Amino acid sequence: MAQKLIVVTGASTGMGASAARELARQGFHVLAGVRRDRDADAIRTTGVEPIMLDITEPEQVRALAARVTDDPRPLHALVNNAGIQVNAPVEALPMAQWRWVFEVNLFGHIAVTQALLPALLHGRGRVINISSIGGKAAMPTYGAYAGAKFALEAVSDALRREIAPLGVQVVVIEPGGVRTEMAARGIATANRLAAQMTPEQDRRYGSLVQATNTLMATGTASGVTADAAARVIAKAVTTRKPRTRYTIGRDAALITRLTRILPDRTLDRVIAANLRRHHPKSATA
């Protein structure tokens, strides 16, 4: 493993940083994608080589591909982990934000995958796409985020069926609540976007936004640690015959099962009832 490379995008904090450290601990040389010098300094350690990488910047993606090509060690896995969370009602989210969510959470992953596929094919490696339970069930205000994750699931299925005959495996990982900074950033973004809603939109969705924010905070606080999530990612990277999908956390496993067995209207009622407990009291009185 010491003679093999791993690329982990979005490795500044959270699951990405923990996965980079865990894979280095297991003997891989990890190229950890970060966007700031201070994040590079924080993650640099034995086996972890930080590399400046914004997956939406073509020049940085090309530089990553050149770095991998110039290394004599084979590329064992690409972990597409970078992402942002932007929550707002479908009606109220500006189109520029819709496009940015898809740029980061979908198109950036495709760009990195395309750039590194020659090396992955040469090394008979694997692609690990970090999706979300939001790629299975779309909560209210999660239209853009879940939409990108649903699309990532579909792209992963297509890619798996295209390159499995060529010796490269594709694995999807679907986390539920994980105790990282992403949820706090997502809540802050949701509040900022909510403040930009029109008065009519605020009357329609204001209490819903508050409820989903509270549910997100609660789910994150009770979720698994980033280190526990990293161990699942590492398993997908190292297992000789990995499953096509792994969930992280009991909530993810439960929701995945519910989406398989419940009719849409029943699932709607389950989600609505769960959210109702988190609406501001003045809105439910």
**pLDDT confidence band for 285 (50 / 70 / 90):** very low
Angstrom CA distances, 15 to 22, 30, 32, 181, 285, stand at: 10, 14, 12, 10, 39
205 catalytic per annotation? no
CATH code for the domain in which residue 268 is found: 3.40.50.720
pLDDT bin (cut points 50, 70, 90) of residue 196 is very high
Checking if the pLDDT of 284 tops 50, the result is no
User: What does pLDDT average to over the chain?
Assistant: 94
What confidence score (pLDDT) does residue 140 get? 95
- Structurally, the chain folds into a number of domains equal to 1
| Residue numbers of the domain that contains 208 | 5-284
pLDDT digits (tens, 9 = 90+) for 79-132: 999 999 999 999 999 999 999 999 999 999 999 999 999 999 999 999 999 999
Of the pLDDT bands very low, low, confident and very high (cuts 50, 70, 90), residue 68 is: very high
Percentage of the chain with pLDDT > 70? 98
Confidence of residue 282 (pLDDT cuts 50, 70, 90): low
Stretch 63-80: mean pLDDT, rounded?
Answer: 97
pLDDT digits (tens, 9 = 90+) for 15-34: 999 999 999 999 999 999 99
Confidence of residue 153 (pLDDT cuts 50, 70, 90): very high
CA atoms within 13 A on the CB side of 64: 34
Compute the Cα dihedral for 112, 118, 123, 127 and give only its sign: positive
* pLDDT at res. 180: 81
The DSSP secondary structure of 146-160, one letter per residue, reads: HHHHHHHHHHHHHHH
From 142, 145, 205, 246, active-site residue = 145
Distance of CA 189 to CAs 13, 43, 110, 262, Å?
18, 26, 25, 32
The mean pLDDT of 39-68, rounded to a whole number, is: 97
Give the confidence band of 12 by pLDDT, cuts at 50, 70, 90: very high
